[in-house]
Amino acid sequence: VNTNLELFITPTELRDSLSGKVAAVIDVLRATTTIIEAMANGARSVHPTVSVEDAVDLANRLGRADVVLSGERHARPIEGFDLGNSPREFTAEAVSGKIVVMTTTNGTPALEAASAAEQCVVAAYANLQAVAERIAQTDQPIAIICAGRSNAFSLDDVLCAGALIRAIRARRSGTLVLNDAAIAARALEQQFRSRLARVFARTAAARQIVDAGLAEDVAYCLMQDRHSVVPVAAGRQITL
Amino acid sequence: VNTNLELFITPTELRDSLSGKVAAVIDVLRATTTIIEAMANGARSVHPTVSVEDAVDLANRLGRADVVLSGERHARPIEGFDLGNSPREFTAEAVSGKIVVMTTTNGTPALEAASAAEQCVVAAYANLQAVAERIAQTDQPIAIICAGRSNAFSLDDVLCAGALIRAIRARRSGTLVLNDAAIAARALEQQFRSRLARVFARTAAARQIVDAGLAEDVAYCLMQDRHSVVPVAAGRQITL
């Protein structure tokens, strides 16, 4: 059995409908890593928003007491918000039983674009094997959508996508038919696998996080399979 | 001396102004290869257009007798045009002393976007070393713009970009500071260099050309340094 697997480097590459496909969204530094952490630590749901204003409005509408308001601008926490976008902050103590409202620059457009799929899961190194397991069980064509960076190629997301493609392939008997970007992601992941931390340090995303004084986040986002949760995005809401 | 070298996977990734930069445009299958072939074989100029109608209008305005009208839709020649978009057609006999009006799907938007640069050159495997030589002589930041495919990642262009980056680096004493996409292109080129024809055969661009019965074009576009011309794009016109 042949299954098409398409990788999209940024959400702006999406042209055809995602209906009938299973989609995975990756913003490994840091939005999807943080969402996985929040859901693994007992958050009821995560609601991504584009703007800071939308996040505040939604928090007020949902009931400020039940909400953890979080997000970043230029990788830094937003004044007056409960948390930033550092996965290390999303402990059970901080988020268990709460609704997380999160505004992030690149992750939100990707999640919104991808949630038009039949099923859309949230992926990062943190839950790579669990996502691969879930996707390998479907017969549908697969779309992996990288958040990218200002709608441009972001190597961190592409490397994570390459690792996910490898994990999916390992669980399938049939052939995965890869598009150009997926072929590239597999090759890059293979080439850089043994020195992932070093190549991540060169990416624009990691450099911005380091500049914001959050260097530990980069190493944290590279830790593989800390969690087995597979958050699902539908509409503007992410749940388990 | 540090020089920034940014690779853009598609023209839609271009956000900042290109002014003050030297740019190279790559649509290796086949528009930039064909433009280089035409200019090397004595064409006076090449005029890329987006639509078939624009190409016909421009040909009539420039004087139909002086013009070679060329281009493709879905990799196939256009009815009533003099030539398609196959570089093998652009012989001295066909184009010497002529103005080439050319409409191509992905190449034209890339050339239009890039010609806002201080200097914009047309690159492909056909003139790689000549382009590298020209670019290595400037002190300006470098932007390489891939045509891509329907505004998405196209592996053929990215591999050619990786080869160009390597050739530029070989001619420079200072450090080239690469963006994420340029790091990826270098790595991919290194990994696939020894089996370029095989990986090209897997790309969507090559498969479409093969489907159109033009398989020989793919091998032709991979031939390196057949020419030493460096066509320059300014406004909507390409000359030497």
Tell whether B4 is within 8 A of chain A (Cβ).
no
The answer, for A4 touching chain B at a CB cutoff of 8 Å, is no
**H or E segment and range at residue A103:** strand A99-103
Chain B, residues 145-204, CB within 8 A of chain A, namely 149-156, 158, 179-181, 183-184, 187-188, 190-192, 199, 202-204
pLDDT above 90 covers a percentage of chain B that reads 89
Residue A236 pLDDT greater than 90, yes or no:
no
Q: Do B13 and A152 touch (CB under 8 A)?
A: yes
Q: pLDDT for B18-28, tens place per residue? A: 989 999 999 99
Residue A120: HSE in the Cβ half-sphere, 13 Å Cα cutoff: 21
User: How long a stretch of residues is chain A?
Assistant: 240
DSSP bridge partners of A72: A77
Q: How near does any CA of chain B get to the CA of A223, in Å?
A: 21
Residue B16 has pLDDT above 80, yes or no: no
State pLDDT tens for residues A171-182: 988 899 999 999
pLDDT for residue B86 is more than 90: yes
Mean pLDDT, range A50-79, rounded to an integer = 95
How many of the other CB atoms lie within 10 Å of CB of B62? 15
- The mean pLDDT value of chain B amounts to 95
CB pairs under 8 A between A and B: 80
More confident residue, A236 or B5: B5
The answer to whether A181 contacts B152, with C-beta atoms less than 8 Å apart, is yes
B8 near A CB under 8 A: yes
pLDDT value at position A189?
A: 98
Q: Is B9 close to A152, i.e. CB distance below 8 A?
A: yes
A192: closest chain B residue by CA: B187
pLDDT at residue B144 greater than cutoff 90: yes
In sequence order, what are the beta bridge partners of B166? none
Give the model's pLDDT for residue B116: 84
- Residue pair B44/B92 in contact by the 8 Å Cβ criterion: no
Any idea which of A89-93, B168-172, B218-222 has the lowest mean pLDDT?
Answer: B168-172
Confidence of residue A191 (pLDDT cuts 50, 70, 90): very high
Instruction: Choose among A8, A15, A154: nearest Cβ to B180.
Output: A154
Query: Residue A90 and residue A108: Cα distance in Å, rounded?
Result: 18
B185-201 pLDDT, tens per residue?
999 999 999 999 999 99
Amino acid A140: pLDDT: 93
Question: For residues B90 and B37, is the Cβ–Cβ distance under 8 A?
Answer: yes
